[in-house]
Amino acid sequence: MSEPNDAPRRHTLKEAISVIPTSCYENPTRKAIPYLLRAGLIYALAVAGLVSTDNPWLVFLLWVLAGLAVSGLFILGHDACHGALFESKALCRSLGRILMLPALHVYSAWDMGHNRVHHAFTIRQERDFVWHPLTEGEYRGRSHWRKIVHRIEWSILGAGLYYLVEIWYKKMVMLKPANKLAQPIAQDKRLVLYFVVGTLALAVVGGLALGAGAAYGVWVWTKIIIVPWLMFTHTIGATVYVHHIHPEIPWHADGLWSKFKGQVAGTTNLHIPALFNVFFHNIFVHIPHHVDPRIPFYHLPAAGQAIKAHYPEVVHEQRFSLRDYLRATRRCKLYDFERCRWLDYRGRPCPPNKAQILGQPQIDGDDQALRPCERGTLWCGYRGIGCGG
């Protein structure tokens, strides 16, 4: 008889892809058009509202709406970047660039970092750069200032700052690849720059034409371009965080990682209210998206159900709650790759949710009294995927 830890080793990403119905890959152009029109209309209404009013309360509410609208356009562009939005790859590339402009994202740089690195090496130590946790030793070796920045970025309010600095600035604005992607990335950087300068010039000219002055034009530009973009960075930063950072989601050292661990066990399916899904286009059904990014967003729920039916012991699925998000930002600060567990800033282990640890009893009602997982055991981490498997 094989050891219990042998079972997860039989799982492969290829096997997970094979359980997805072929119908989940159908992506005729006509299917995406209503979603594109709806997303574009919401964004246009938000921008029109911001142009027409300076009432502080209305402006704030419209900023929230505009930030969500930019997120919705970006997620459709993200689908296009994966080649999933349309059958035509040329149409995906062209429209994807346009959809990412309000988010001020460099399409080709996003393709390189997100598609070719994050999706290829999800939750793999030193390879997946998105919300990659520091070890206790790495954190201790930081300067006092950099420790403060880390504490802010990994707090409940820090997702926007993290995304703005670590992803947008470092991985797009400052990215200078020395390969065949250098030219398209440079071209897409210019496209974003033209969008920024062009909208600013249009706003200034509009302000002068209306007799309100150039300064008012700059204020209008800030209202409709910059603040919604900043709202978007926080929204997308928090979204990616909840996809891959959680007390029950383990990261893996290079030699212990596998594609199945990364794409099936390295993320989660979260149920959000239907109203918010108008903007997020099923991106919170994240496991099937990682198993095969070619699946268009409107087929992710069906693909997710097929994967869940085949791997009920592995798939993590729950309703999204701010309480869980707060819990994760409070507990998941550093990571112990040797013992496959999250730590707080004092180096104390963060146990997974007690209800999801099979055969691991609570002791005296104390979360910290739960036995720490041992490297190589079946329940190290969560969902039956051992550190050594």
23 falls in which pLDDT band (50, 70, 90)? very high
Phi, psi torsion values for 185, nearest 5 degrees: -65, -40
Q: Which of 17-21, 210-214, 350-354 has the lowest mean pLDDT?
A: 350-354
pTM: 0.88
177 falls in which pLDDT band (50, 70, 90)? confident
Q: Higher-confidence residue: 196 or 11?
A: 196
Provide CB contacts within 8 A for 375, sequence distance 6+. 338, 339, 340, 387, 388
Report the distance separating Cα 129 and Cα 232, nearest Å. 20
Q: Does the pLDDT value for residue 67 go beyond 90?
A: yes
Q: What percent of the chain has pLDDT over 70?
A: 87
| Tokens describing residue 287 | 């496991």
Q: Does the pLDDT value for residue 4 go beyond 60?
A: no
Q: Does the pLDDT value for residue 378 go beyond 90?
A: no
Q: Does the pLDDT value for residue 382 go beyond 50?
A: no
Look at residue 181 in the predicted model and tell me its pLDDT: 84
Look at residue 351 in the predicted model and tell me its pLDDT: 66
Look at residue 37 in the predicted model and tell me its pLDDT: 98
For the residues 125-140, what does the mean pLDDT come to? 95
What are the pLDDT digits (tens) for 330-377?
Answer: 999 999 999 889 999 999 997 654 333 433 333 233 333 333 333 333
Look at residue 302 in the predicted model and tell me its pLDDT: 97
Look at residue 179 in the predicted model and tell me its pLDDT: 78
What are the pLDDT digits (tens) for 31-58?
Answer: 999 999 999 999 999 999 999 999 999 9
75 falls in which pLDDT band (50, 70, 90)? very high
Q: Where are the domains of the chain?
A: 6-310
Look at residue 7 in the predicted model and tell me its pLDDT: 40
Look at residue 180 in the predicted model and tell me its pLDDT: 83
Q: Does the pLDDT value for residue 24 go beyond 70?
A: yes
Q: Does the pLDDT value for residue 250 go beyond 70?
A: yes
Count the neighbouring beta carbons within 10 Å of the beta carbon of residue 314. 20
Tell me the pLDDT of the chain averaged across its residues. 88
Provide CB contacts within 8 A for 314, sequence distance 6+. 8, 11, 264, 265, 383, 384, 385
Q: Does the pLDDT value for residue 1 go beyond 60?
A: no
Q: Does the pLDDT value for residue 389 go beyond 60?
A: no
Report the distance separating Cα 65 and Cα 56, nearest Å. 14
Q: 317: part of which helix (H) or strand (E)?
A: strand 317-319
Look at residue 231 in the predicted model and tell me its pLDDT: 97
Q: Does the pLDDT value for residue 203 go beyond 90?
A: yes
Look at residue 370 in the predicted model and tell me its pLDDT: 33
Report the distance separating Cα 32 and Cα 109, nearest Å. 24
